[in-house]
Amino acid sequence: MNAPSEPLTGLTRICQRVGVAADHGGYELKEYLAGKLREAGYEVTGFGDRKPDLDDDYPDFVVPLARAVAGGEVARGVAICGSGVGASVCANKVAGVRASLIHECFSAHQGVEDDDLNLICLGGQVVGHALAWELVQGFLAAKFSGAERHRRRLAKVAALENTPPNKTS
């Protein structure tokens, strides 16, 4: 993988349009990553926060991003809150979104390759700039394998989105 300060040279770029969103806990990291993505040639759509505000709530920014990912307005998304946990929980409530909290390099690409992850969640108070950029690069460069076993598993997960909570099968 390239050094975190380098653009995605040498890697196959899978998507061009990336959405980013963060509350106050992830604002600074979001701004840094949005700048790196633009430098690397990505079209970046910001979903907020537009300025640090201690009274903001991550769902106000993560939900519009997740809807944009699910609706195809952006190819993939990056959501950041203080720990990344709230962003992940929130994003996964939107049908068609497969989001995960990622703080290490293997899962950043493997989540896309095996689970067709389309939104990465990071903790702005947990992950530093260099690692965050490396994680985002791996996430964006990865491609879903399309293997039958992965498609089968994802179909089961997608079926849950239309299953009432009290139904057991």
- Fold of the domain built from segment(s) 17-160: Ribose 5-phosphate Isomerase B; Chain: A, (3.40.1400)
* Cα–Cα dist 156/106, whole Å: 24
Asked if 58 and 48 count as a contact pair (C-beta separation under 8 A), the reply is: no
Active-site position among 81, 90, 105, 121: 81
pTM for the model: 0.87
User: Is there a catalytic annotation at residue 121?
Assistant: no
Give per-residue pLDDT as tens, 29-85. Answer: 999 999 999 999 999 999 987 888 888 999 999 999 999 999 999 999 999 999 999
Would you state the pLDDT for residue 47?
A: 95
Q: Tell me, rounded to whole angstroms, the distance of Cα 134 from its chain centroid.
A: 13
Whether residue 5 has pLDDT greater than 50: no
Region class of 72: left (phi > 0), else alpha (psi between -120 and 50), else beta: left
Give per-residue pLDDT as tens, 83-125. Answer: 999 999 999 999 999 999 999 999 999 999 999 999 999 999 9
Domain boundary assignment for the chain = 17-160
